[in-house]
Amino acid sequence: MKRRDFLYKFPLVASTPFFIGGIPMSAWSAPFESLDTQNSDKVLIIIQLHGGNDGLNMFIPINQYSQYYNLRPNIAIPDFGSRKYIKLDSTLADNKQIGLHPDMVALKELYDRGNVLLVQGVSYQNNNGSHFRGRDIWFMGGGYNDYAGSGWMGRLLDNIYPGYPDGPPQAYPNATMPDPLGLEIGEGVSLAFQRDNGIPAGLAVESPQAFYDLINSVGGKVPKVDKIKPSYHKDELLYIMGMEDQSKDYARRLKEVFEAGGTTSTIYPSTYPLNAPAGSLSNRLAGQLQLVARLLRGGIKTRFFLVRIGGFDTHASQVETYNTTLGSHAALAYHISTALKAFMDDLKLSSIDNKVMAMTVSEFGRRVRSNSGYGTDHGTAGTSIVVGANVNPGVLGNNPDLANIPNDNLPMNYDYRQLLATLIEDWMGGNSTVLQASGFAPYTPQKLDLIRTGNSITNIDEFLNTRFRLDNCFPNPANEQTVFSFFINSDEHVKLGIFDLNGKLVQEVINELLTAGKHQIQADISRLKVGTYVYKWEAGDFSDTKKLIIYR
């Protein structure tokens, strides 16, 4: 390939897109000297829900179910039957009681593990419901009346990459930071990574090997800087030549990382198993997160990832007319839920789940009232899902007051910049310089309680024990009868048995599906001999054992 052909293939976009594992990506490079070194291995993943997600049908306000149903009777998720909503957490206050879409079982499992925080009412003031403007604002990091040609990530990278891109980026990659700082998965390049200055370049090929081969097929030597005559385009040419050399190193490194990541035993669901339009059946998010997990397993030092899934502009046919729990939006709920669950399971198997935090963003929510086309129109506030092993689990923000919905829109509880400011400072370890560059410094006094602090093990144990626990039986020591007590936060198949000290089951107390809540089971133990026993309790992914003493 001639150099002129090579340069022709670099359109004026924000990065260098290429394919890893069959999925298109874009890369940005910069040193991250402005991040706390104690947080140097932390990763932030932004998951874009393209089109404006209807959070009200994924996260149903149980305490106002009648109003919810009356406002959207042709698309409402039912509160009865085999496809009723899933009660998220019975321990929460009444005004935080949420019902998940029935196809979000996997998200419920992640929540019960202590890996999910739902943030209700996320938006920005004067959200105008425009797809393009809304996405620009979220990625710009500004407000409704702000206009900029750069994104919050791009400005952040500009700040920590001194002199970039006034000359060839020759300092990176290096042994300390061999990888690009950010990777965007999927076709197209967002405003989030646009810089105020410079001309980043884009290139797309089909595979890591093809990317490697293409870069190395470029002929000719790069001219020395002092041999290039001054011209209006000198800086741009130097930058592109620098990117060419840099791309060789990144291609080689990413190929190595991809191969080092190997395969996984975790299954990423690829299709929606129920009825939905053909275009909604494929889980396009799962493959992207599977790729990110593989790169992380392979040791990539990239700190920021951006992935996306589309299909959320559900003006019509959001549900199937014969069943409101099925259809395109149900498939999307399933895709998000199962992809996140598989991703966290994958990371946990490799013991790297504690270094990753993910957050969903969508340009706006949907209107509270459904329309006659079994859909919803553009709205304002929505719900963000924050997922990670170190997230502060629960629900942040109350259910909206559906009796008071001006202009048919959900109210805003939190500005999206509060979430991003919190994640950049408390999770990524960004200092005041980084926050100022990104534009989020004014929101640090309004940070949110997103990340667990203090003794994380104690905090998560407290969360879990409040929602799934086996209490001490009473009486104990016992004679002929005792009562076993336990609490479960979701409908679960529960097993409880009494074992001797050799591990042999001597009496089964219960083995059946139980509904969420507190349970007390009285057991006749008169046939067991005097001695010490252990009783074991299993409820879904949770289990516990305690001692029982029998006397006569």
User: Which domains can be identified in the chain, with CATH numbers?
Assistant: 3-460 (no CATH), 468-550 (2.60.40.1930)
pLDDT at 420: 95
Identify the CA nearest to 295 among candidates 15, 9, 25, 17.
Answer: 25
3-state secondary structure (DSSP) of residue 330? helix
Rounded CA-CA distance 404/384 in Å is: 22
Tally the residues of the chain.
Answer: 552
pTM of the model: 0.86
Rounded CA-CA distance 266/305 in Å is: 21
pLDDT at 140: 87
Which regions in the chain score pLDDT beneath 70? 1-40, 157-172, 186-189, 192-248, 454-458
pLDDT at 187: 60
Cα 191–116–377 angle (5° rounding)? 55
Neighbours of 413 (CB within 10 A): 18
pLDDT at 460: 87
Place of tokens 């104990």: 476
Rounded CA-CA distance 531/523 in Å is: 17
Rounded CA-CA distance 357/423 in Å is: 9
Residue 512 burial (10 A CB sphere; 0-12, 13-18, 19+): exposed
pLDDT at 8: 29
Q: For the chain, give the longest Cα–Cα distance.
A: 101
Per-chain mean pLDDT for the chain: 84
Q: What is the DSSP string of 101-133?
A: -TT-HHHHHHHHTT-EEEEEEEE-TT----HHH
Place of tokens 């553009």: 378
